[in-house]
Amino acid sequence: MSGLRRLLQVTYTIGSYLFWWLLVRLHLRRVTMTPAQRLRCTLERLGTAFVKLGQGLSLHRDLLPEEYIHELQNLQDRVGPFANDVAAREVETALGKPIAELFAEFELRPLAAASIAQVHKARMCDGRWVIVKIRRPGIKTEIDRDMRLLRTVMQVLLTLSPWLRRYEPLTIIDEIWTNLRKETDFRKEAHQIEHFVGAFQDSATVHVPALIDGLYSESVLVQEMSSGRRVDDPTIGEDGARLAQAFVEAYLQQVFVMGVFHGDPHPGNLFVMESGKLCFHDFGIVGVLNPRIRRHLAAFLLAFVHQDGEWLLDAAVELGLLEGDLKREEFRQGLQEIIEEYAGLPLKEWSLAEVFLRVARLGQGRHMRLPHNLLVLMRAMALMENAVRSLDPEFNLLGGLLAKAEAVLKATAAVGAETGWSRLRFEMASGAQELPAELGALIHRLRANGLEIRLQHHGMEHLEGHIDRASNRVALALVTLGLYIAASLLMLNSIGPRLGEIPLLAAAGYALALWFTLRLARGISRSGRL
């Protein structure tokens, strides 16, 4: 389809929906479906890129009403499989070998087909059964074309309706476009799979299917085949409580220790294997949390559990759920209402995902937009809670989190502290290596420029005294800095006798440097000047 023809189709379809929506809002038209349902149908009719757009918008629970979120999450990829010969050709082109050399057996009929890719079953020459994920030919070009067209249409709408700018629609479109590009590049998914396989390789409760012999490219990915019952299978029965606890522990590990988590834990991506392990599939969507966000997330969890409104407000601001320059009184009442509402419920009915969402919605209309990874986390928490309750309706989710959270958070804190000390040691060592060269260069510049200061004065003894004291302070400050660096190097290399874990020479260096620091501080304090 030509670009102009597709632009006209997109513009007409979106315009028709907006005109219909306006008539409904003005009560000029009777309807058989809700605006949210009509939007879902409209996006499905426009094809893959718009289906993915809708699924991306469904993450924005902080902006959209719940009925729209529900409908957008139900968007379906209504696409049939592509031809068998095309699938075989794509595999051979991507992996650089004929099908017969790659596999002992390759089933041309796909196991499943979707808008981005389809999956085939195959058997390796050593007998292992695998799945082969093949990207739909031309889908990357199609997505880029449609997203450009969507940006064009949105720019026209912003010109006609400037009030839409408060929602930053172009930024949201670009964010979804960027993540679609990641989703269509199977190399990124392969790297995530390798990361998760390594993290859970020794786990007694979780399994992640491994990549096969590095067989992956931008458009094809070969992975170990595994199967089992979905987590919402009613036959799981009494084993549900154990699996629910294993699932919660797996997410604590991902979120607070790894800093990378599976972003789409719906029942289709979670299986219970015959061995009793919980199996994670499909790592096309993952969230990443840096150490700072993880610390604030832990604070949010603990503040919620302890029903501490002030702490919860601080954690929400640090996470970015609420603006940092807000007037605290504006949100304190809303947070207190949330806390009081949960205080009257049994602990097993508490929902961290719901609290996260409700706090985020307190900031609606304040010209702020949540970071993508927090949106992914909000959705993942909601899906996680649903999965846990499918496994065991009586499971005390918050209690399960707290049972393991303390140990996990201590491990996270230890890793963070070690990272901090590592950086301090590195910076001290670098400073010690670079300081002589920097001082040498400074002396060279002074000599080259022939700097000479001659003062002739009468009755300026008081000024001379000030200059002498200032010179002494500079000299003492340099000596103190040298002592700190030397002591840090001694500490780093564990030189000399030790008292417990601390080298005595390093301790002496630190003590002397601290004494000089106190002398400097006292002298400056007495003079009243820096």
The catalytic site residues sit at 264
Partner residues linked to 123 by β-bridges: 105, 129
**C-beta of residue 397 within 8 angstroms of C-beta of residue 248:** yes
The structure tokens 């080259």 sit at 448
- What token pair was written down for 408? 């996990």
Name the phi and psi angles at 450, rounded to 5: 60, 40
Q: What residue type is assigned to position 320 of the chain? A: G
Report how far residue 229's alpha carbon sits from residue 224's, in angstroms, rounded to the nearest whole number.
17
Of 330, 311, 327, 329, the closest CA to residue 319 belongs to: 311
The structure tokens 């909601």 sit at 382
SS3 at position 469:
helix
How many angstroms separate the Cα of 367 from the Cα of each of 216, 269, 293, 319, 322?
42, 35, 21, 16, 11
What is the pairing mode between strands 220-224 and 498-499? unpaired
Partner residues linked to 498 by β-bridges: 503
Q: Is the dihedral of CA 298, 256, 408, 281 positive or negative?
A: positive
Report how far residue 189's alpha carbon sits from residue 173's, in angstroms, rounded to the nearest whole number.
22
Report how far residue 497's alpha carbon sits from residue 98's, in angstroms, rounded to the nearest whole number.
66
The structure tokens 């949330």 sit at 338
CA angle 316, 401, 347 (to 5 degrees): 85
Report how far residue 304's alpha carbon sits from residue 298's, in angstroms, rounded to the nearest whole number.
10
**SS3 sequence of 127-184:** CCEEEEEEECCCHHHHHHHHHHHHHHHHHHHHHHCHHHHHHCHHHHHHHHHHHHHHHC
- What token pair was written down for 246? 């294993």
Report how far residue 252's alpha carbon sits from residue 380's, in angstroms, rounded to the nearest whole number.
12
State the helix-helix crossing angle for 328-343 and 352-361, rounded to 10 degrees.
150
**C-beta of residue 42 within 8 angstroms of C-beta of residue 76:** no
**C-beta of residue 328 within 8 angstroms of C-beta of residue 299:** no
What is the pairing mode between strands 206-207 and 278-280? parallel
